[in-house]
Amino acid sequence: VKATLGAGQLARFTGLPWRSGGGSAANISDAQAAHETQFALWGSVLAGATLCIHAAGWLEGGLSVSFEKLITDIEALQTVAELCTKTPGDADAIGFEAIAEVQPGGHFFSAAHTMTRYRTAFYEPL
């Protein structure tokens, strides 16, 4: 992870785009593989990689690919992408009108603001 962060700093200093990689040295899709992939992925994200390759499904340093790991890695990538999106903070997103509409002791389930947003407001995994 530190090497990835250092590479990101050098790339920003020189003004060059750079790629980073994911993957795992584990032999099977297990806790070790998930741990290694998460560290590689977060290192790439925090370092500001222009492109992240080999981020899904790779095992044994790229010698094999696992469909099971491909699915779990895509899930991890989607989660990180969702965590990195900007959270809206405008008045419409916060829903001041809904807060005024629902009195203390009430609920927001039937508020118009909730009804227009409940299908897309939350992260939905695979």
What is the model's pLDDT at position 13? Answer: 94
- Residue 65's region, left for phi above 0, alpha for psi from -120 to 50, else beta, is beta
User: What H or E segment, with its residue span, contains residue 51?
Assistant: strand 51-53
pLDDT of res. 126 = 67
Q: Can you tell me the mean pLDDT for 112-124? A: 79
Give the separation between CA 52 and CA 72, rounded to whole angstroms. 16
Check: CB of residue 16 under 8 Å from CB of residue 48: no
Kindly state the tokens that stand for 94. Answer: 């916060």
Q: Find out whether 93 and 57 touch, Cβ atoms under 8 Å.
A: no
Residues 6+ apart with CB under 8 A from 27: 59, 60
Higher pLDDT, 72 or 1: 72
pLDDT tier, 71 (very low <50, low <70, confident <90, very high otherwise): very high
Mean pLDDT to the nearest integer, 96-105: 86
pTM above 0.95, yes or no: no
Q: State residue 120 phi and psi, 5-degree precision.
A: -120, 0
pLDDT at 22: 79
pLDDT tens-digit series, residues 6-31: 999 999 999 999 998 877 889 999 99
